[in-house]
Amino acid sequence: MKYVALSGGLDSTAMAILLHERDEEYELLFSDTGAELPETLWMVPRVARRLGKKLNVVANHSFFYYLSDYGFLLPSPMVRWCTRQLKQVPQDSFMARLGAEELCVGIRADEARRAVDRAPKRGSHHFTYPLVAAGIDRAAAKTLCLKYDLLSPVYSWRSNTSCFCCMFQRVADWRGLWKHHPDLFMLAEAWEEESIASQNSGFTWRRGRTLKALREATEAQLTLWPEPEDEPCSICVA
């Protein structure tokens, strides 16, 4: 059986639609990190129902579990424990348990380098990239999602569907979170404060800048804030 890694985002949804239109047999695989946006938890079962595919949900504890276990060491570009523990480990365990060999990942043709950067095989399975093979870029992926009314509403205010506290969010994404889900923003801010108090290095979600400062900054001040140099892992935002 072929499995499609679904995040609820534009690319993985378009990939699921593409394979559906080809009448290919597959099941959906969603890793619940415990830090998902509400829109994502609404969108994932909607995709499964609309396409008539079985939805498998896996998890390896939760974001808060590991955050606490690591002494409130926030994930960073150098230490991406969130991707490993909350996405890769439960997916690998699921695939190995079933002896499954193929996991489809939603990387587009216009970002094919991200497929090259990934290991060709992890554990008992290998990755395939249907959107890359089909030459589907972001515009074409969005067209597919709109065709089936399966474009996540999160894109009206956010650039991707990563965790609400992802360290790779852009300034506008954090500000959008503050506007649309202030409770989640304040939770991320509280975790950051706990990390500063617990870690000698005083880690923050954004290097050298706090969410409190971001929340209180004026629009003019925000233009001086640097954007993250890296981007969310493809397995998180596809």
Average pLDDT over residues 93-111: 92
Residues 130 and 191 in one domain: no
Prediction pTM value: 0.91
Residues 107 and 211 in one domain: no
State the residue range of the domain holding 58: 2-158
Residues 12 and 97 in one domain: yes
Burial class (CB in 10 A: 0-12, 13-18, 19+), 43: buried
User: Is 91 part of any domain?
Assistant: yes
User: Is 150 part of any domain?
Assistant: yes
Residues 53 and 150 in one domain: yes
DSSP assignments along 217-235, one per residue: --HHHHTTSPPPSS---HH
Model pLDDT, residue 139 = 97
User: Is 72 part of any domain?
Assistant: yes
Strands 121-122 and 125-128: antiparallel
| Residue 233, token pair as written in the block | 């892992």
CATH number at residue 52: 3.40.50.620
Residues 45 and 97 in one domain: yes
Q: What is the pLDDT of residues 142-193, one digit of tens each?
A: 999 999 999 999 999 999 999 999 998 999 999 999 999 999 999 999 999 9
